[in-house]
Structure 1
Amino acid sequence: MIPIRIRRLSDEDGFAQIRTPEALLTALYANRGLTDLDGEGRLGLGDLEPVDHLLGLERAVEVLAERIRGGGHLMIVGDYDADGATGSALAVRGLRALGAARVSYLVPSRFANGYGLSPAVAEAAAGLRPDLMVTVDNGISSVSGVRRARELGIPVLVTDHHLPGEVLPEAEAIVNPNQVGCRFPSKHLAGVGVVFYLLAATRRHLRDGGWFGAGRPEPNLADLLDLVALGTVADVVTLDRNNRILVEQGLRRIRAGRCTAGVSALLRVAGRDPSRVTTADLGFFVAPRLNAAGRLEEMSLGVECLLSDDPDHAFSIAQTLDALNRRRREIEGEMKDQAESLLDRLSLDGEALPPALCLFGEDWHQGVSGIVAARIRERYHRPVIAFADAGGGVLRGSGRSIDGLHLRDAIDAVDRRHPGVIERFGGHAMAAGLTIRVDVLDVFRDAFVEAVREQLGDVPPQPEIQSDGILPPGLLTLETAEMLRLAGPWGKGFPEPKFDGPFEVLDARIVGERHLKLRLVPPGGVPVEAIGFHFGDRLEQARGRIQLAYRLDVNQYRGVRSAQLVMEYLQPA
């Protein structure tokens, strides 16, 4: 196991003086740079960044409004992950609410089409005769696909949030906060967030033009913020203030029972209480079930769940998604074991590992390779690309990075130095995807390792866990845990509070085959339960006095709620 350094954000002596949950929360916010709770701390819809600085938005609204007023056929072209699914459902629901006569959607198959608006997808869409195609969570790299759509007489409006390449597609308009020249201050919008802004601006344009009236009521687009919250959390984008507002407002609506039938059904099959939902529930329980559709079958199943207004129908689809997710976990476990066996056969250990890992399994499932890359990254603290056979001599890779390495830039460096090795690629700092031929795998692996070495050196920096400090024993309570659950929204860039400290192990056992369950007592405190998901291999370390890094959460069992530590790191004291 790679050793981890714990870095505390709070002075130990000062943190020890905290006596109440309210004072604790003030200190936690300060650790995240939030001290003006009446200013920057406000998370109302009125505090969102205005739409005006989004480059290309004015033209996009004109194009979209013209087709809405003219009764045209609008086709949404989405992506096969949770951000793409929620963004597609949001676009369909929102455009219909704005008065569009006909709105359809098309989600390219991960297996048959690959990512984004490709020429093949444009040709398939042409058979349905759309008057305008609107990409969601893709399109910024679809240069050839947009060109083919134009040749077929179909204009394209691109909405995306991924980093653009040197050449942009020749679309009617492009809305992407990360395109060069865009002055929109929140660069971390997810694809679903970009769609929400586009819908809001289009509604304003239509309102100013007298489109809404007695026979066509103006919709409240805030009613769809549950989809925005789910997609934003699922895509693990940075929760800057703007994204925190979108997520918080969506969570409030879910808790109030004002969410789509599909989101409610997904929470239900995951065993989560909608009235107490948090970002962790969306990210770790709902999103994987939604993503399972795109990983193992077709994401249209997930979109249909989010579009259904019939609770029974939505729940039926959610049950299917739940079954797919269970199968996905089985496949993931098999692939992870194979990947670790491969590393063991190479007689590698934490010191001898190269700075990056490229893994390939002949029978690996391409829909699960990204998750396997993430699991191997977590264990070995290296950027990882896992390749699966896509047929016809083609490999599709999914990569996951570590802090300090911009994965897309590293792949781009390989592409520039070795033209023709990579057929397609895209992504961002922490995750990326690419397609190569099987006969260049070794060439790519060597080039990728070298590109990573240039950024990180021979050995990546030691991983660290940021801890807010040692939580006083008197605050290891259900009251504190309940407060922390609802005090977010927590996520990337505004992390859920973590604490560390010494504990004495009173009891240790394995539950659910691979999870570690402990009963602990802190110095001067009372016993408390702890759970370590996938910590089953650390049972022998959980003896006597240990040092933990953990989150404080709420455990509900047979109707009883209690405080529980969720372990992030464990080592003998």
Structure 2
Amino acid sequence: MFESKYSWQAPEGNEETVRSLAGELSVSPLTASLLASRGIGSREEAGRFLNGNLEALHDPYLLLGMDKAVPRILQAIEQSEHILIYGDYDADGVSSTSLMIYFMRHLGASYDIYIPHRSNEGYGLHNHALDWAHQQGVSLIITVDTGISAVEQIAYANSLGMDVIVTDHHEPPEVLPNAYALINPKQPGCPYPFKGLAGVGVAYKLAQAVLKEPPVEWTEIVAIGTIADLMPLTGENRILVSRGLECMRHTSFPGIQALMEVSGFNMGAVTSVNVAFGMAPRINASGRLDHAGSAVALMTTGDMEEAQQLSHALDELNKERQQVVETIVEEALIQLQDKMINGSVPDVIVLAGEGWNVGVVGIVASKILERYYRPVIILGIDPETGMCKGSARSIPGLDIYEALTSCKELMDHYGGHPSAAGMSLSRDQLPAFEEALNLFAAQVMSEEDYIPVIATDGEWKLSDVPLSVIDEMDMLAPFGMANPVPKLVFRGTRLVELRKMGKEGKHLKLVFRQGETRMEAVAFGRGDLADLLEEGMTLDILGEVSINEWNGSRKPQLMLQDMKITGTQVFDLRDAKEPWKEVQRIYDIISPHMRLDHRQIAAVFNPLLESSPKIQLNDCSLWVYDNKAGISAFNNAANTYGADHITTLFMVHVPDSVDQLDALLASFKNLSNLFLLHSGRNKEEQLTIPSRDQFKLLYVLLMRMALEPIREQEALARLSQQSSSTLRMVTMMMDVFEELAFVERRDGNIVVIPKPPKRELSSSMHFTKLGSLAEMEQHLVYEGTSQCTRWMISRLEGAS
């Protein structure tokens, strides 16, 4: 059984609503179902969701603190005060700062900007920056995407005679700063109806309050920051991002145009997915490896030549960032192995390393979370100061902001959301920090929380998604957080074509059939699964449907997200050059799909062929073939856990007999996955199922050459040549003759008995074993994949 990587969560049943929406909106049942699963239950709600416009935005003065902030800004403009825009270094912070620059230019303000350096300064307001601002004559500071936790720093700014207006969207702490005005929809007592604004969304609301109708093209900047910061694309965010993407398709901003070009997608068809995976990483790269100021310069330049230079510089930084991430991930995984006791991953993974670039630790955390599905904190350690700066990424079962709050006394600073956060602390506090987080997780999380779940949009047929329905589903765009790209389940599909594609075969191209409908599918980054799939298999699949356009042709295509193969599975990986390395490689591929722990994995081998296997898997049970018992335990894990828990077995060598194979299958009663890694035998050693004619011919040849005793090795070699049977076959046939008393073996010679007793071949145990062994090896060693795996599955099912 090849489990899905995720547990597929079906939407709640709402058949009546679906029928009603399908009829009232004249849409397909699939589109109606997608609307219903997103909480839309009526024609009116559907209209607001599908056709929302800027006029539907909430009154910005509903934001607590807006009534104080607007007059103060207007006063600063009237009195030509010098204003400081204080931003953050991520894509939301860059977007927020860029939007405020356009806002300041629009107002004709005197202003400066300040964005801290991620590695040298870290997140948030800093007193040295406030000192600099004071020296520049700043009397009003407006923070964007930061400030809600800066209690001490804002108190310090107040002492210098500077007013601070905070615009932020992060979770407010228990104690709020004494700012001139606090604008954050999440702060206690704020009546604003929509709490999901990004930092740039809050900044936009400030501009809306002052200008009433900000230039519509500013929504392009709002869209970038909102998508990049993974804010929910519902409510106001949906309106702002929809309008922003529409404007972006004919943008007048040189920086945005250049960024789209270097990201490699068509400006006229830009989507939220393009922004998330093309533009946002390049904007973030500036703050991760350099300074976010270069991204702000790109977003706010009016010169196309400068925009192109800056965009290409960001593209190179992004490539460098990818390499840095890959290096840290490798080092972090090695460190994690030392923390794993008996193969068990900690409830909360905390890893720290000297020299790890703090600008990319969040990405590293995401990659390790994806691999182990655990909350992950990655910290870079400054070897000179001993200070650690890090980022956390969490799973739905653990609110990481709440978890950090439970041990806040161990950190110098922290902040963030339920799913992501940042923190800084002393190196000396790391052990206590890790222990405290794991204790908290043990109290609030259950076993179910560690099973990755993916929300689906129900089970459908391939025939339910023709081109017309896929086009219709685009009405629900833009897709993103809280309005994800629809993920559809198709059960009982047949895999009819399979091949690797792309550089080094990293991706898969597949074709599935269900009934009369065929659909192509692409699985990016899953070329490693090619060894585990076989044409003709029946699979349940989960994917996102889209349209593949090529040379004027349009056809449905599935972006494969997950798959499941039900029933017992045999995987043909015979003739692996280094089978023990192959065991490790395959385990790394399959472990997310089979939800394995160390008690469920075993490998069996022949101790005469390999005395001490080289395997890295922690506590993998090792078993050996045994002439007496069939199989026996080889290591402590096998003795400790036994065979009852084993579901996945790696067969490194072929059994020496059918009895050993039967003993193996009888011992592993719960086996559902068998990986064949053994070498194919040389044709010179092949056995054939023996016939009476073969034995008759061999006996006649033997009589001719053995009128007198003959050396056995000489006789076997000559008999093999004259009978066209392998030496191994002739040797085993001689065992039959000896058992039936046709010959005797004396002192290395073979002596033919002149008048042997009359006995049937079938009465010989050696004859029966030879036939069974030849049949087993024919299937296991010499036949093709489909015949081999079918035969082995029949044996497995017969043993169960």
Task: With the length of structure 1 as denominator, give the TM-score of the two structures.
Answer: 0.90
Distance verdict in 2 for CA 1:537–1:336, change over 3 Å? farther
Tell me whether 1:553 sits opposite 2:536 in the alignment.
no
Q: State the secondary structure of the residue aligned to 1:460.
A: helix
In the alignment, what sits opposite 1:211?
none
Which of 487, 491, 500 in structure 1 is aligned with 2:489? 500
* Alignment check: 8 A CA contact 2:85 2:144 kept: yes
Distance verdict in 2 for CA 1:158–1:6, change over 3 Å? same
CA deviations 1:395-416 (Å, max 9, x no partner) are 111000111321111100111x
Separation of aligned partners in 2, 1:401 and 1:436: 19
* Alignment check: 8 A CA contact 2:340 2:346 kept: no
Which of 85, 93, 96 in structure 2 is aligned with 1:84? 93
Q: Please tell me the residue identity of whatever aligns with 1:365.
A: N
* Alignment check: 8 A CA contact 1:118 1:144 kept: no
Tell me whether 1:25 sits opposite 2:31 in the alignment.
yes
Which of 386, 390, 399 in structure 2 is aligned with 1:397? 390
CA deviations 1:88-143 (Å, max 9, x no partner) are 0001102211x233222111100111101121221233333223111000001111
Separation of aligned partners in 2, 1:93 and 1:566: 39
In the alignment, what sits opposite 1:380?
372
Which of 48, 58, 70 in structure 1 is aligned with 2:57? 48
Q: State the secondary structure of the residue aligned to 2:35.
A: helix
Q: Please tell me the residue identity of whatever aligns with 1:6.
A: W
In the alignment, what sits opposite 1:61?
70
Separation of aligned partners in 2, 1:525 and 1:189: 46
Stretch moving more, 532-541 or 78-87: 532-541
In the alignment, what sits opposite 1:73?
82
Q: State the secondary structure of the residue aligned to 1:167.
A: coil
Deviation at 1:23, TM superposition (A): 4.1
Matches within 5 A, 1:418-437: 419=409, 421-437=410-426
Tell me whether 1:325 sits opposite 2:327 in the alignment.
no
Which of 300, 305, 312 in structure 2 is aligned with 1:312? 305
Q: Please tell me the residue identity of whatever aligns with 2:418.
A: A
Stretch moving more, 191-200 or 475-484: 475-484
Distance verdict in 2 for CA 1:327–1:473, change over 3 Å? same
CA deviations 1:201-236 (Å, max 9, x no partner) are 1124xxxxxxxxxxxxxx743220000011111111
Deviation at 1:455, TM superposition (A): 1.8
Identity of aligned residues (%): 31
* Alignment check: 8 A CA contact 1:159 1:194 kept: yes
Deviation at 1:300, TM superposition (A): 0.4
Tell me whether 1:144 sits opposite 2:152 in the alignment.
yes
Q: Please tell me the residue identity of whatever aligns with 2:140.
A: L
In the alignment, what sits opposite 1:523?
514
* Alignment check: 8 A CA contact 2:355 2:380 kept: yes
CA deviations 1:213-265 (Å, max 9, x no partner) are xxxxxx7432200000111111111223121111111111112x035222222
CA deviations 1:471-527 (Å, max 9, x no partner) are 332344444444444531222112221012243331131524474222221312444
Greater relative CO, 1 or 2 (CA 8 Å, sep 6+): 1
Which of 201, 213, 223 in structure 1 is aligned with 2:217? 223
Which of 490, 512, 530 in structure 2 is aligned with 1:539? 530
* Alignment check: 8 A CA contact 1:113 1:121 kept: no
Q: State the secondary structure of the residue aligned to 1:366.
A: coil
In the alignment, what sits opposite 2:117?
109
In the alignment, what sits opposite 2:226?
232
* Alignment check: 8 A CA contact 2:461 2:490 kept: no
Higher-Rg structure is 2
Distance verdict in 2 for CA 1:202–1:12, change over 3 Å? closer
In the alignment, what sits opposite 1:158?
166
Which of 181, 202, 205 in structure 2 is aligned with 1:173? 181
Deviation at 1:3, TM superposition (A): 4.5
Kindly report the root-mean-square deviation, in angstroms, between the aligned alpha carbons of the 2 structures.
2.5
Distance verdict in 2 for CA 1:362–1:510, change over 3 Å? farther
CA deviations 1:169-227 (Å, max 9, x no partner) are 221111111111101011111100000000111124xxxxxxxxxxxxxx743220000
Deviation at 1:144, TM superposition (A): 1.9
Which of 343, 353, 367 in structure 2 is aligned with 1:361? 353
In the alignment, what sits opposite 1:135?
143
Separation of aligned partners in 2, 1:247 and 1:459: 35
Deviation at 1:284, TM superposition (A): 1.3
Stretch moving more, 298-307 or 488-497: 488-497
Distance verdict in 2 for CA 1:349–1:379, change over 3 Å? farther
In the alignment, what sits opposite 1:449?
438
* Alignment check: 8 A CA contact 2:198 2:225 kept: yes
Separation of aligned partners in 2, 1:570 and 1:325: 31
Which of 451, 454, 478 in structure 2 is aligned with 1:462? 451
Q: Please tell me the residue identity of whatever aligns with 1:387.
A: L
CA deviations 1:302-346 (Å, max 9, x no partner) are 111100122222122111111111111111122222222333344
Q: Please tell me the residue identity of whatever aligns with 1:389.
A: I
Which of 7, 10, 15 in structure 2 is aligned with 1:8? 10
Separation of aligned partners in 1, 2:454 and 2:484: 11
Task: With the length of structure 2 as denominator, give the TM-score of the two structures.
Answer: 0.65
